[in-house]
Amino acid sequence: MTDSLPEGLLLAFYGDDFTGSTDAMEVTAMAGLRTVLFTAPPSEEDLARFADCRVIGIAGTARARSPEWMAAQLPPIFDRLAALGPRILQYKVCSTFDSAPHTGSIGKATELGAAAVPPGWIPSIVGAPQLGRFQAFGSLFATASGRQYRIDRHPTMARHPVTPMTEADLRLHLARQADVPIGGIDLAEQASGDLSARIADAQSAGQVTFLDVACAVSQRAAGAMVWETSGETVFCPSSSGLQYALVAHWRASGLLPSDPPPLPRHAPVDRLLVLSGSCSPVTAEQIATAEDAGFALLRMDVLKAADPARAGAEVARIQDEMSKAFADNRRGVLVYAARTVDDPAYAALQTWVRSAGMPMATAQAGIGAALGQIALRAVPRFALDRVVIAGGDTSGRVLETLPVLALEVAHPLAPGAPICQCHATDPDFDGLQVVLKGGQLGPPDVFCQAMVPKAPCD
């Protein structure tokens, strides 16, 4: 299948959150390239176990971290991945590019990642039409409820509780976070013909160059620009738009088959646990749909979960409620922190953190850790075969709690949210299937579909 592609590692990436990492893994895995996602930097033994993989990723939590944390943690990871000799080294970012100078700085990560590879241009692909993400003339647009919004007017991302997007032009947005040359190759330039001189200028300047992607044609063009100009390892701070663009170029060039063998559909499970820390309206609709379908909904007390002195008792309460729900033959149990940022629980949390003098990020980390403890106890207690986690930061906190070494895509579910199989030394978690769903992704019945494929929820 990959005889025409160069031997060895094609792409290595560090994902700034777990849901985005599985999103990126899904694209190349569905294209027929074996892809593994580690939950922590792998050892030599770990790498040897997955030596035949053409794409390797490490899922992380940088999206919720400070620049100081990044400066301490990311260079060894980038150096480790670069030493594997991939054609492309990626810092995988969210397709909404939400970030800020103080939290999840894509600019800081870009400066650190570029230092791990030979000097050259730094192409960035963010648009991914498959996910409802479009970039035109440097500005990012995202779909919500069937409509396209400029990202700084998006009903969710413009109001993100930690990193609201207040600028749609990604060049201006990144310039607030990094002191590097920044430019772009827009749709008009792509249509004008030979771009070799333009790319050469970007390479000599070490420029971060945003490549517009708004359709299938521009997606293939962006993939070609990155792949055909990457003689040495090139660093790309990009969303899974990079993976989509590369696969589109490889297929158009005959390097990959257009129709690889499809992954099998998943089997139904008798019990499903869903854990949600997302405040997205998309997830809120999915929660409501699951409730209508008969899922037992358990609201977490976020004030207790965020308080280290009370979190243990709240986890125990949720476990008891979950046990009752399963005993009542409720096949699906959904534990959630809040529905949207307009949920009274979110307002109460804001008031509490102010009175406690606690940063909101610390409180959110505590909630994620509590959800992780729920999963850690529930999987063996209820013999769960599949767990769904909603929310990018939440997914990272939960997976960090579980004894899981690596993930591979096992089944398709929804674009950007596949069903993954866990590799672990603990027999309770080895083979466990997990879905890490970003807040903006998935159809209304995605939780129902995760339990029973193609099952209607009404």
CB neighbours of residue 185 within 10 Å:
22
Identity of the residue numbered 286: Q
Confidence of residue 290 (pLDDT cuts 50, 70, 90): very high
Total-model pTM: 0.87
What is the spatial distance between Cα 101 and Cα 108, in angstroms, rounded to a whole number?
8
Letter string b/e over residues 110-125, b meaning 16 or more CB atoms within 10 A of that residue's CB:
bbbbbebbeebbbbbb
Confidence of residue 159 (pLDDT cuts 50, 70, 90): confident
For the segment 435-446, the average pLDDT, to the nearest whole number, is: 88
What is the spatial distance between Cα 376 and Cα 388, in angstroms, rounded to a whole number?
13
H-state helical runs in 86-195: 106-114, 170-175, 187-192
- Residue 458 predicted with pLDDT over 80: no
Q: Are 157 and 164 in contact (CB under 8 A)?
A: yes
pLDDT at position 457 is 45
Q: Are 183 and 210 in contact (CB under 8 A)?
A: yes
Distance of CA 118 to the CA centre of its chain: 27
Q: Which of 167-176, 183-192, 246-255, 389-398 has the lowest mean pLDDT?
A: 389-398
**Chain segment 197-239, per-residue pLDDT in tens:** 999 999 999 999 999 999 999 999 999 999 998 778 999 999 9
Q: What beta strand segments (E) does 290-330 contain?
A: 296-299
Nearest to 278 by CA among 111, 442, 132, 427: 442
User: Across all residues in the chain, what is the average pLDDT?
Assistant: 91
Nearest to 340 by CA among 155, 63, 167, 97: 155
| Half-sphere exposure in the Cβ direction for 123 (13 Å, CA) | 31
Q: Which residues contact 294 (CB under 8 A, 6 or more apart)?
A: 330, 331, 332
Helix orientation angle between 241-252 and 18-30, rounded to the nearest 10 degrees: 10
Q: Are 203 and 229 in contact (CB under 8 A)?
A: yes
**Chain segment 384-433, per-residue pLDDT in tens:** 999 999 987 888 889 989 999 999 999 999 888 899 999 998 999 999 99
**Chain segment 40-49, per-residue pLDDT in tens:** 999 999 999 9
DSSP string computed for 20-51:
HHHHHHHHHHHTT--EEEESSPPPHHHHHHTT
- Residue 2 predicted with pLDDT over 60: no
DSSP string computed for 354-381:
HHHT--HHHHHHHHHHHHHHHHHHHHHH
Sign of CA dihedral 279, 106, 414, 26: negative
- Cα 291–297–303 angle (5° rounding)? 140
Please name the helix (run of DSSP H) or strand (run of DSSP E) that holds residue 71, with its range, or none. Answer: helix 67-82
Give the chain's length: 458
What is the spatial distance between Cα 171 and Cα 185, in angstroms, rounded to a whole number?
11
Q: Which structural domains are found in the chain, ordered by start?
A: 11-252 (3.40.50.10840), 272-451 (3.40.980.20)
Q: In this structure, what DSSP letter does residue 282 have?
A: H
Helix orientation angle between 67-82 and 106-114, rounded to the nearest 10 degrees: 40
